[in-house]
Each structure stands twice: as C-alpha cells, then as structure tokens.
Amino acid sequence: MVKSYEIKPDQSIELLQELHILTREQKLNQDSRRKLKQIYHLLQFIEPIIHQYKDQEFTLVDHGAGKSYLGFMLYDLIVKNTLGKIIGVEANDVLVQKCNDLLLKFKFNNMSFISQAIEKSKATIKQAQIVTALHACDTATDHAIDFALEKKAAWIILVPCCQAEVYQHLKAHKMNNMKQHWVELYRHGIHTREFGSHLTNVLRCLKLEHQGYKVSVTELVGWEHSMKNELIIAEFIDQQRTQSGERIEKILADLDLKTLQSRFLVS
C-alpha cells in the first residue's frame, strides 16, 4: 500500500490508477514516485496563480499534454472547484483518445483535448490566460511560447526538454568559431549539447522579457529526480525590455547563430 503522506488527501486514487501512477494494489514504483513528486511540486507553483482568478473564468492550455498527468491532476485537485477550464493539446491521436475516455469516465466537464500540433493551435484556441508546457520536446516549447505571446497569456509555466535546435546549429558552425577563445565553452560534444540546452533557455527568457514578461527561473525538483529540471515562470507585466532584444541579437551574432533570429526575436 502506498504511504498516505505521498498522496494528497483530496487526490482521486482511482484517477492515479488509471494514469498508471498507482498500481491496482495502490503501490508506487520508483518511476511513478519520481513522476508524482514532479507534478506535485509543479502544482505548488500553479495553484496560487489559479487562486488569483477566484470567481473569474479562465482557460489553461497545456501544450504537449502527452498522457496529461499534469492536466488531470491539476483539474482533479484545483481546477474542478473553480470557473476555469483546461485544454490539452497533443499531436498523438492515440493519446488524445485515451485522455478523452478518461475525462468522460471522471466527468471532468470543463476539460478537453485537441489532437493537433502545437504550432497549429493558435487558430483553434481563442484565448488562454495560463499556458503550460511540461517536457514539450525541442521546439515544441518555443511553439508554446509563441502561442502564449499571441494570446497575451497572463502566465506561462514551462519545463523545457530536449533542446536540440540550437545544439545542431552550434555543432554546424563550431569550426567557424574555433579561433575564438569562448568556443571552449562548447568545443567538446557533450559540452555542445549542454551549452546548447542552456543557451536555448537563456534566449527564451530574454524573448519573454522583451515581450513584456517578468521571468523567474528555478529548479523543478532535485536533480536526482529529473535531469530535465529547469522551471521557467513568466508573468505578463506589460513592460517590454528593449535591452533584452538587443542582447538576443548580440548573442546570436557572436555565436554565428543569426539564422535563428526569427525563433527568438518577435518582429
């Protein structure tokens, strides 16, 4: 039997079983325990944001929903007691069908799923006050950011994953920069990947600041639980920072990455 302190008091045991976080015997394996810890910790950041809406309607769009561990647990513990709704966006039709079956079973009436690539959701979803993307892989996180910017979302909560695009460009242009002393930051292959991942998130934060957001960056959980551990939270304060845009241009120019300017600078 799972230890009682590991599960929140109001959490549906049956839902956790349907999500395969708990076994039929109500047990947690190591992977499920790690996953549960990540979701619960993320909810601690999202819950006070939702409470700001009190008796107001709001829409939370979860991009790259996957099996929607985050969406279902968020709805079950918090959103079902509000006027809010959750829309999960996922490109995998099979996963979307399974999620639709689950929300019908549990009668989560203000929750829905769209089978669609993130970059196409701008045309489908009219508004979003809160945008989340938990481990949306590679450029999916960037598409989630672009969606949030277009909808003028008040809050953006991201846990990026598998940032390969900048890495590939760094790798391709590495030889052009070998005479520069700072190329040592990413000369070795493993450093190229790590530096590319870090640089991607730095550029994302600058992009959000340039578009009027106040950005904070922290770790989601301890590194022993997840290597994809960076949590970016952005609140729209309508104060655009011109300097952030200038820094994006300078970084991309210095690293021979000007071809990525349209990714990180909004015209």
- Chain centroid to Cα 183, Å, comes to 30
**Cα gap 164→118, rounded to integer Å:** 17
pLDDT tens profile 194-253: 999 999 999 999 999 999 999 999 988 755 444 568 999 999 999 999 999 999 999 999
Q: Does residue 136 carry a pLDDT above 90?
A: no
Task: Look at strands 58-63 and 130-137 and give their pairing.
Answer: parallel
This prediction has a pTM of 0.93
CATH number of the structural domain 7-162? 3.40.50.150
Let me know: does 71 contact 260? Beta carbons within 8 Å: no
CA 111 to CA 86: how far, in whole Å? Answer: 5
Instruction: Report the amino acid identity of residue 174.
Output: K
DSSP SS3 for 119: helix
Give the pLDDT of residue 225: 44
Chain region(s) in the chain for CATH 3.40.50.150 = 7-162
CB 195 within 8 A of CB 221: no
What share of the chain has pLDDT > 90, as a percent? 77
Q: For 51-85, how does the pLDDT look when each residue is reduced to its tens digit (9 = 90+)?
A: 999 889 999 999 999 999 999 999 999 999 999 99
Q: Which residue has the tokens 């600041």?
A: 209
